[in-house]
Amino acid sequence: MKIHTSSRLVKMEDLNHHHTLFAVRGASWLIETSFATAACELGTTEGIVFRNINDLAFTHPGKCGDIIQFESRVVRTTETTITVHAVMNSFLDQTKLAESYITFVTIFEGTKTRKPHGIQLDEPADDAERSLRIRANELLAGAVK
């Protein structure tokens, strides 16, 4: 699937008491970029609801002034769910700061009724994408339908 990218600047209000990127802010950004990826693949923002976040791991701290680049792509689907793998990197030195698998459910607007989305995964572009899909299936098999 297509890799989607976006960027953010880490500002003072994004920091914790250690003067590094607050983990909740980083997680929020990962969810936001994943939502945008799901919406771009669906062609709409309507009826996409956050379900869960899996395997969230922060590996390096973000610092004030860092330009953060997000790369995300759909790695798993069921009839009504879309799972996106998202990575947060420091743009200038390409250090991986965090990554996660984020799942959304598609619903009919104004209801809690799930709606089939119709997205079909294409063939993995390479071994790295194949590995992401395998990991997503391992994490979510039986957990999210």
Report the C-alpha gap between 46 and 117 in whole angstroms.
11
The whole-number average pLDDT for the span 88-104 is 96
Of the pLDDT bands very low, low, confident and very high (cuts 50, 70, 90), residue 142 is low
Cα-trace Rg, the chain:
15
Q: What does the buried/exposed string (b/e) look like for 85-112 if buried means 16 or more CB atoms within 10 Å of the residue's CB?
A: bbbbbbeeeeeebbbbbbbbbbbeeeee
**12, 132, 141 from 36: Cα distances, Å:** 25, 19, 24
Q: Tell me: the pLDDT tens digits for 38-56? A: 999 999 999 999 999 999 9
